[in-house]
A = this chain, B = another copy of it.
Amino acid sequence: MSMDLPVAEVRAIVERALAEDIAWGDMTSNTLIPSDSRAVGRVLAKSVGVLAGIEVLVLAFQSVDLSVQVEIRVPDGSPFQEGDVLARVEGPARSLLSAERTALNLVQRMTGIASATASYVEAVQGLPARIVDTRKTAPGLRILDKYAVRMGGGHNHRYNLADGILIKDNHLEMLAALGYSLKDVLERAHAQAPHMIKIEIEVDTLEQCREAVEAGADLILLDNMSVEQMREAVQFIGGRALTEASGGVGLETVRAIAETGVDLISVGKLTHSVQAADISLDFEGTGGNP
């Protein structure tokens, strides 16, 4: 797999999905389709978008049957138009039919994520803000979801709770109740955290911004602030820490947010509310343009 994904993990996801869908056998195909029938199919785009997961689709077909040949016509990360043939598959008809749904479920979700991400990235074009994802991914599919965000031109936030420190208001309130100031908290974080991990802190006010910057936060999360507040915070911080906007970001508001000068805009819905891309597998001679 040439894509930047850990092969073994992806294979495990694909095999679980196939086991879930094929179970003890594709009754329809096994009952009706002769075991020596061969077929050719085209993976066809039914709408515009940005592709992600085409190699995962290959893996799905070849996990069912190593003899299936897949020719990729559009690489991951590329925009495509309605009617584009994204890949061509050829092999035993039963194998193609049995893998079809799983392969499509994977590529449709991933392409849905990439396409939505691309819309946000396009909306902030020309501005320095990165569109980043969150940990609000489908349970068990995080590596695919976050890969799809990258394919759409976005960047990845923390992968998990272990590879970054993000001090949220929940933490701050609990710690305040124990007598710790924001500055205390950041000092403890610096003293104890692994040195390769950056420290981000959520703030509500300019005053908190000041404390956070002076205590050496690497990133400052401006959560649910108005565009006006954000702009003020960004100017105040003045590059001493990275800034991230978060909370209720939509396609209609993202550019205004980016114009405040924030470095990062995190968008939960990229992965928690995915619109599956419309991609189908058409068997040759059964419709669709060649």
Contact = CB atoms under 8 A, between A and B. Distances in A.
Nearest to A160: B23
Given A156-B194, A161-B28, A185-B32, A8 B18 contact: yes
B31 A188 contact: yes
Given A5-B25, A24-B162, A27-B197, 9 more contacts: A4-B30, A8-B63, A17-B139, A23-B23, A23-B163, A24-B143, A130-B195, A136-B276, A197-B198
Given A135-B101, A138-B109, A174-B93, A161 B23 contact: yes
A180 to B, nearest CB: 8
A144 B232 CA distance: 44
Interface residues of A, number: 105
A272 B31 contact: no
A206 B232 CA distance: 40
Nearest to A166: B28
B2 A8 contact: no
A15 interface: yes
13 contacts: A4-B35, A8-B19, A22-B160, A23-B23, A23-B163, A101-B135, A130-B195, A162-B163, A163-B196, A173-B285, A195-B198, A272-B276, A273-B274
